[in-house]
Amino acid sequence: MENLKTPTFINTLLGMAGGLYYRQLKRASKNPRKSQEKTLRGILAYAKDTVYGREHDFAYILEAKDDTELYKRYQEKVQVIDYEDFRPYVERHKNGESDILFPGKPALYTTTSGSTAQPKWIPISPEYLDKRYGRMTKVWLYNFIQNRPLVFGGKVFSVIGKTVEGYAPDGTVLGSISGYTQGNCPDFLKVIYANPPCVSGISDFEARYYVLMRSGIEQNVSLIIAANPSSIVELQNNVNKYYDDYVTDIENGTIKAELKIEPEIRAELEAIQKPNPQRAAELRALKAEYGEVLPKHYWPNLQILNTWRCGNTRIYLDKFKEWFPEQMLHQEFGYISSECRFGFPLDDTLNSVLFPHYHYYEFVEESEIDSPTPRFLQLFELEENKRYSIYITTASGLYRYNMYDLMEVGPSFQNTPTIHLVQKLHGIVTITGEKLYEQQFVDAVHEAEKTTGMKARFFIGFADLSTKGYRFYYEFENQDVTQEQAERFTEEVDRALQEINIEYKAKRVSLRLKIPETNRLIHDSLEAFRAQCNAEGSRDEQFKLNLLLQDEKRHEKFKKLIIRN
């Protein structure tokens, strides 16, 4: 495989646009207090004549004479709320109404799991998409060049969501913002992607991974963008399984006929394939030399791997830390969700640089998260190494929105604190981005009780990062329930969870989440667990237990209460 050449044209164009917005970021970050006041005023002024703006007296808030009064009025008039409080407004947008949460109508919707069976539809305003998200993307690409000048010297291997997943009743697209961004990027960037956007539309995940890697492994890839590191593991699993098939397809310019690919997508893909016997010979030689062929072998010129490295990702990072070339930079993807792109690192640390001129941020210190009257802090009030929950206000109609994320503060960029994700909060557990809610697990167990006729006297679930799956524990009222019957019960729980939580289903179907494991508990298991805690010094009056956890200390105690036969 040839070495990379400096992509002068691309670097120049991205340097001009990205460099401009990077300098704006630096200026805004020098005085976060001033920037945040200006940002909040701008968002409120933008939306003051909307339904939500009138209902919450945005015009009155804007009459504040200084930032202290502005924040006070904003907190008085707009309460911290969850998505379900926004849903009625979003539904009005979905059905074609304008000027509800923000002026006009959404440019598109993204979706993610929520606390109910109904997924969250997150509206994305044209203002946010163009003047915030789009400009942040330019800084992001510019930053790649700053860290590795040859990063666009080869192809970009990108794992994205579906560009179109459906439509709102008024015809507005529902899809992933990553798919939208790639599909609408400049022509000079489109030609360097290793795969066309249509690949994200392949429903069968094994086939999707096959096509991604069959095309990617043929090319000289210099940048990988895949937010979730579990995708990297599953893609390499696909390589291990189908390597010889890739080589045959590359040699002949074909795509394996047995794959379950939608006909229109297959036709689009086959139209761009050409026989490449030279690359096929190189790949055969790599297998003959190494046996197990890894990214450092087939992509030796890789410059940057861009994935999440925070939160629960360590289990995946440990699996592939020896897979890549030594010169490669593994850069944290950044703090990004369906609701908002908060920021991203500009170096090799975990800490995301926030954009104080694009979003308005509020925080509550970790010790006050459960307080009925927490003190809300401004961005400039954060202290390094302390932890906070975060609340976001955006130009896409989210106002004082609780992200249920626990963040830790890192060193400042200019004078603005950086942050990185520690974990989800309040009964929300995630292994690979599925965001499973405690109430969803409870509802799924109750659904399984109805379908099986078996009654659980007590139950609890744990996220097990070592197995990339959940472990469910049940104490059945009938202690004669067999392990086989209990596993059928788990199958029903798993089925119900896939119906309730779209992200959970996506991760199960894509093999990133494994089948949940089943464990039967002894009689009076909760009482036995409580006794273990008390023996270790816990005070009984302080005893609290969530039914869905990521907590190895508590998990170990329940492992001791399993029926072993």
DSSP E strands in 40-119: the ranges are: 108-112
Decide: helix, strand or coil at residue 535: helix
Instruction: Return the DSSP state at 413.
Output: E
Kindly state the percentage of the chain with pLDDT values over 90.
Answer: 73
Instruction: Return the DSSP state at 313.
Output: G
Q: Is the pLDDT of residue 219 over 80?
A: yes
Q: Is the pLDDT of residue 178 over 90?
A: no
Work out whether the CA dihedral 440, 441, 446, 448 comes out positive or negative: positive
Confidence bin at 554 (pLDDT 50/70/90): confident
Closest CA to 430 of 517, 315, 509: 315
Decide: helix, strand or coil at residue 150: coil
Decide: helix, strand or coil at residue 293: coil
User: In the prediction, which pLDDT does 19 show?
Assistant: 95
Q: Are 436 and 325 in contact (CB under 8 A)?
A: no
pTM above 0.75, yes or no: yes
Strand order in the sheet with 120-124: 120-124, 108-112, 173-174, 166-167
Q: Which residues contact 44 (CB under 8 A, 6 or more apart)?
A: 53, 58, 61, 62, 74
Q: Are 379 and 416 in contact (CB under 8 A)?
A: yes
Structure confidence by residue, pLDDT tens digits, 456-476: 988 999 999 888 899 999 999
User: In the prediction, which pLDDT does 538 show?
Assistant: 55
Q: Is the pLDDT of residue 539 over 50?
A: no
d(CA 533, CA 556): 12
